[in-house]
Amino acid sequence: MSLEFTKIINDIQNMGRYLAYRDREALIDKALAILNDKGADLDFVKNRVRMVRESDVSGYRGAAPPPDAVAQPLNAVIPPPGGQARSTLIAVDGSQVYPNFESSSLYYVLNIGVLVYRHGTDEMPHQETLPGIFYTDGYILDETRQVISNRTVNSRRTVAEIRMLWHQARHLSREPAPRIAMHDGNLLKFFGGSDITDGSSLINEYMGLLVALQDAQTTLTGYVDNPRSSYLISLLHLLDLEPEHISDAMLRTNGEIEGLSDADVMARLLSPGERSVLMVQNSPANYEYKKFNPSHEIAVVYINTSDTKTPHIARLDVPMWVALDNDALDELHRVVLEQCRMQGMRPYPYGLTRADELAYISGREREQVESLVRRELIRNNSVQQSNGSAKANSKVFGRDSHKQGHRLGGFPLDRSSN
Positions that interact with other proteins (CB under 8 A): 115, 117-118, 121-125, 127, 307, 341-346, 350, 353-354, 357, 404-409, 411-418
At position 216, the amino acid (one-letter code) is A
The answer to whether the CB of 114 falls within 8 A of the CB of 91 is: yes
Shortest distance (Å) from residue 94 CB to other proteins: 19
How many residues appear in the chain?
418
The answer to whether the CB of 70 falls within 8 A of the CB of 278 is: yes
Shortest distance (Å) from residue 382 CB to other proteins: 31
The alpha carbon dihedral of 377, 383, 389, 395 has a sign of positive
- The residue among 101 and 411 lying less far from other proteins, judged by its C-beta, is 411
Shortest distance (Å) from residue 177 CB to other proteins: 13
The total of other beta-carbon atoms located within 10 Å of residue 408's CB is 8
Short-list 309, 227, 299, CA closest to 262: 227
- The residue among 218 and 339 lying less far from other proteins, judged by its C-beta, is 339
Shortest distance (Å) from residue 292 CB to other proteins: 37
Shortest distance (Å) from residue 315 CB to other proteins: 21
- The residue among 118 and 189 lying less far from other proteins, judged by its C-beta, is 118
Question: What is the helix (H) or strand (E) element at residue 49, kind and residue range?
Answer: helix 42-54
- The residue among 116 and 209 lying less far from other proteins, judged by its C-beta, is 116
Short-list 106, 102, 221, CA closest to 161: 221
Shortest distance (Å) from residue 362 CB to other proteins: 13
The answer to whether the CB of 307 falls within 8 A of the CB of 347 is: yes
Q: What is the largest CA-CA distance in the chain?
A: 100
- The residue among 327 and 357 lying less far from other proteins, judged by its C-beta, is 357
- The residue among 74 and 91 lying less far from other proteins, judged by its C-beta, is 91
**Rounded to the nearest 10 degrees, what angle do helices 5-37 and 262-269 cross at?**
70
- The residue among 85 and 148 lying less far from other proteins, judged by its C-beta, is 85
- In eight-state DSSP terms, residue 105 is S
Would you call 283 helix, strand, or coil by DSSP? coil
At position 335, the amino acid (one-letter code) is V
Shortest distance (Å) from residue 89 CB to other proteins: 10
Shortest distance (Å) from residue 108 CB to other proteins: 25
- The residue among 122 and 242 lying less far from other proteins, judged by its C-beta, is 122
| C-alpha–C-alpha distance, residues 39 and 283, integer Å | 20
- The residue among 3 and 345 lying less far from other proteins, judged by its C-beta, is 345
Shortest distance (Å) from residue 395 CB to other proteins: 24
Side-chain-side CA neighbours of 158 within 13 Å: the count stands at 23
| C-alpha–C-alpha distance, residues 49 and 235, integer Å | 8
| C-alpha–C-alpha distance, residues 127 and 114, integer Å | 6
